[in-house]
Amino acid sequence: MSEDDERQQCPPSDLEFVSNKARNCNATGSGSGHPELQSVYLDQVLENVLENVLHFLTSKRDRNAASLVCKSWYRVEALTRSELFIGNCYAVSPARATARFARVRALHLKGKPRFADFNLMPPDWGAHFNPWALAMAKAYPWLEKVNLKRMSVTDDDLATLAELFLGFKELVLVCCDGFGTSGLAIFVNKCRQLKVLDLIESEVSDDESDWISCFPEGESHLESLIFDCVECHINFEALERLVARSPLLKKLRLNRYVSIGQLYHLMIRAPQLTHLGTGSFSPSEIAGQGDQEPDYVNAFAACKSLVCLSGFREIIPDYLPAIYIVCANLTSLNFSYANITAEQLKPIISKCHKLQVFWVLDSICDEGLQAVAATCKELRELRVFPVDAREDSDGPVSEVGLQAISEGCRKLQSILYFCQRMTNTAVIAMSKNCPDLVVFRLCIMGRHRADHVTGEPMDDGFGAIVMNCKKLTRLAVSGLLTDKAFDYIGRHGKLVRTLSVAFSGDSDMALKYVLEGCPQLQKLEIRDSPFGDAALRSGLHHYYSMRFLWMSSCRLTRHGCQEIARAMPRLVVEVIRSADEEEMDDAVEILYMYRSLVGPRTDTPKFVTIL
Amino acid sequence: MEVNYDNGLNLKATELRLGLPGSDEPERQTTPRSNKRTLSEISSSGVTDDGNDYQQDSAPPAKEQVVGWPPIRSYRKNCIHATGRYVKVSVDGAAYLRKIDLKVYRSYPDLLKALENMFKLTIGAYSEREGYNGSGYAPTYEDKDGDWMLVGDVPWEMFISSCKRLRIMKGSEARGLGCV
């Protein structure tokens, strides 16, 4: 469930082809053959051997390194790379990618920048899957897997995938949009080998198409069906039949239109499930007063392999005891759509001794977090989301909860914590108690909010995090922060790859500290902070090593950005306006810049200018 | 007020404008970007006591929400708004249970009116001493300790967080709870 564990991508070098060392042709014995022919033969043998070896290399980073050794290795690596990961779909073109890699079976593409999720830029910015779909269809008809994040996918694209790739097996769409249930209908109908259909936090338009009924009859190969984000009714009878004929199904995440009664029927047909999203977890609107309720405890008891539980979209807490029996085996529990209290959480969490991933709403309050800390000693990832996501709402969780977690969950690696009040003391405590932290994202929802006990900025807290958490690669800061915080980050955040900044810092120095101090920085997203052109210039030495830089509502000017564009020809510098603004102003509302091998894209909407 | 006689005409006196006669022309609020009048400007004209004043009346405006802050995806925001505190409601003698979201209601009268509409009955008003005497129905709830309480006895916020289910009792049982 955790985002963002990519390894660093090597920069796209202008490949310098190191020539092969001369081979010792005499090694083959007598000089009867022509030396050139023998050399070619040996090269061929070596390449074949290399090919067989490189097949085993799976890590992107290792493959990128191998491809830089020499021309021969570059060629063989390109032949043997079967999973192609492209972190920014505009960094390279489909043509170029397919020209280099001949035998790709799996494509993983990412599109829009993350801040687009928060409505910071107009929709229809780009990241269209279509040109990729068409290029893949020609180059890789054997393609089996596609994983897209923040891309625009149309119904036609889904049809393309299903019709032009005969062995297509896995589709994962995370935070995507642009398609609807009618596209899904065509896709599931034509994809006869489908094993995985995972729709995660994607926007799916309701075309009133009964897509669940469109799965072909007969035994299905389905192993994973995730559609909890699909906001429309589904044909339950068809779903039940589908589950009944999918003996390999391990992961099933239902949407909120599935009632708990319907869930029961599905669970008894699929006791082999390992991952379950429960849907609404409440009865449909009206139920007969005398009606006998199914034995939910029994249904859960039958699912002996269940390790990951989520859903609870319209939870009626009365039904929670049904899950007690599976708690002891759970490694992942997602209550982040369930508005439950600490009292309702305790009987469950107290049984979750093996829990590693826990997502929850702040409705459980500090008290609930204390209960988590008391039991979940194996916790690796915690996310606490706000029920009321406004700046001035009451905050049910605070530094008390954070401190408790830091004391109880020493193996914590990743935390995302929304709150209204925080202290440096608690953050410092976490930096010392949880040395394995890789991801630290703290969102104090009130802008510029200081330590609520001392009234001081939150500099020291975040400073302690970068100083003490030696494995930290992802950081998101908030609260009242001066340039000092960024000085700490620049000095100590040597492994930081992703940094999110909002409403922070006093001057250009802050951004300079970071750009000059963090050599591993790949993704930098900044909003509403007082950084201007001078600060931007201080990163010139580093921008080719980064995937992207986003700066919105800062103090950049058009000519400042132009300077960068001129100095760095392989950087695409996009200036993005809010849709109704006129172009003339020199102030830059949004800057989004990224390295690219193919220069400016040709599909920019009206509100984007490439400098 | 300066009277400007232009060509012998007091144009100002005959000028058609919004606002009570005799009042100065009020300051217009600057609208961002578009030239459209905001709803508050249109609705407050000529109706308020201080016709001069185009400011929004009564409560101070809620703190302006910044776009995209806090950084929660709108899908999640919408889902959580849709999620509330769901509890089952039963009425003695009725064939069906209902499910309601407590988060939707702001106060006891709000909730009781909704229940009355939902089940087509009269519950009446709460009184501390006599409960719901007179109506024949008493709304009760089970709290987190498992005790059955009369709706209205505790402050609203406490009720919201401790109510596990609702039961609208009828007749003699109701009377029993009403008088403590």
> What is the full DSSP assignment across B56-83?
--SSPPPPPPPTT-S---HHHHHHHHH-
Distance of alpha carbon A605 from alpha carbon B158, whole angstroms: 52
The pLDDT score that the predictor gives to residue A23 is 38
Q: Has residue B82 got a pLDDT over 70?
A: no
Window from A187-191, A381-385, A578-582, B153-157 with minimum mean pLDDT: A578-582
Domain boundaries, chain B: 91-175
Instruction: Indicate the pLDDT class of residue A435, thresholds 50, 70 and 90.
Output: very high
User: Looking up tokens 């209204």, which residue turns up?
Assistant: A420
Phi, psi of A483 (to 5 degrees): -60, -25
Question: Strand A571-576 relative to strand A608-610: parallel, antiparallel, unpaired?
Answer: antiparallel
- Record: contact B75-A445, CB cut-off 8 A: no
Evaluate if residue A447 carries a pLDDT over 50: yes
The pLDDT, as a whole number, for residue B124 is 79
For A361, which residue in chain B has the nearest alpha carbon? B80
Q: What pLDDT band is residue B176 in, cutting at 50, 70 and 90?
A: low
Residue A126 has pLDDT above 60, yes or no: yes
Measure in Å the smallest separation between the Cα of A58 and chain B Cα atoms. Answer: 33
In angstroms, the Cα distances linking A298 to A260, A293, A301, A306, A433 are 13, 12, 5, 14, 40
Beta-carbon separation of A288 and B74 below 8 A: no
CB contact under 8 A, A316 and B80: no
User: ipTM of this model?
Assistant: 0.85
Q: Which residues of B27-37 are buried (b: 16+ CB within 10 A; e: fewer)?
A: eeeeeeeeeee
3-class SS of residue B164: coil
Q: Which of A304, A402, A389, A485 is nearest to A119 (CA)?
A: A389
Candidate from A38-47, A174-183, A386-395, B33-42 with smallest mean pLDDT? B33-42
**What is the rounded average pLDDT of the residues A165-184?**
96
User: Per the structure block, which two tokens stand in for A512?
Assistant: 């300079």
* Fold that domain B91-175 belongs to in CATH: Ubiquitin-like (UB roll) (3.10.20)
Beta-bridge mates of residue B88: B99, B165
Q: Which residues neighbour A201 within 8 Å (Cβ) at sequence distance 6 or greater?
A: A174, A175, A229, B73, B75, B76
Task: State the sign of the Cα–Cα–Cα–Cα dihedral A21, A24, A25, A27.
Answer: negative
**B80 and A361: CB-CB below 8 Å?**
yes
Higher pLDDT, A132 or A579: A132
pLDDT in tens, B45-69: 333 333 333 333 444 444 567 889 9
Report the distance separating Cα A52 and Cα A47, nearest Å: 9
Could A385 and B94 be called an inter-chain contact, meaning their C-beta atoms sit closer than 8 Å?
A: no
- What is the nearest CA distance from A548 to chain B, expressed in angstroms? 19
* Chain segment A520-579, per-residue pLDDT in tens: 999 999 999 999 999 999 999 999 999 999 999 999 999 999 999 999 999 999 999 876
Question: B72 and A314 in contact by Cβ < 8 A?
Answer: no
Instruction: Specify the residue for token string 């899950």.
Output: A323
Residue A287: the pLDDT is 66
C-alpha to C-alpha distance for A75 and A15, rounded to whole angstroms: 12
For residue B83, which residues of chain A lie inside 8 Å, CB to CB?
313-315, 337-339
Report which of residues A579 and A280 the model is more confident about: A280
Lowest-pLDDT range of A308-322, A365-379, A430-444: A308-322
**A54-68, A452-466, B29-43, B164-178, range with greatest mean pLDDT:** A452-466
pLDDT at A150 exceeding the cut of 50? yes
Taking 60 as the threshold, does the pLDDT of residue B24 lie above it? no
List of chain B residues whose C-beta atoms are within 8 Å of the C-beta of residue A339: 80, 83-85, 103
Mean pLDDT of B4-32: 49
Q: Do B103 and A339 touch (CB under 8 A)?
A: yes
Q: Residue A2 — very low, low, confident or very high, per pLDDT cuts 50/70/90?
A: very low
The residue written with tokens 């799976």 in the block is A58
Q: Closest partner residue to B72 among A203, A389, A580, by Cβ?
A: A389
A29-86 residue pLDDT tens? 444 556 667 777 777 787 788 888 888 888 888 888 888 888 888 888 888 889 999 9
With an 8 Å Cβ cutoff, is B66 touching chain A?
yes
- Among A173-187, A307-321, B68-82, name the one with the lowest average pLDDT: B68-82
Closest partner residue to B70 among A290, A339, A386, by Cβ?
A386
Q: What is the mean pLDDT of chain A?
A: 91
Q: A-contacting residues of B 120-159, CB under 8 Å?
A: 144
Residue B81 C-alpha, separation from nearest chain A C-alpha, in angstroms: 8
Beta-sheet pairing, A357-361 with A332-335? parallel
Q: Which of A482, A446, A450 is nearest to A463 (CA)?
A: A482
CA A487/CA A489 separation, integer angstroms: 5
Higher pLDDT, A60 or A376: A376
- CB spacing of B75 vs A229 below 8 angstroms: yes
pLDDT at A38: 72
Contact A336 B76 (CB under 8 A): yes
What is the per-residue pLDDT for A395?
86
Q: What is the pLDDT of residue A13?
A: 39
Q: Is pLDDT above 60 for B39?
A: no
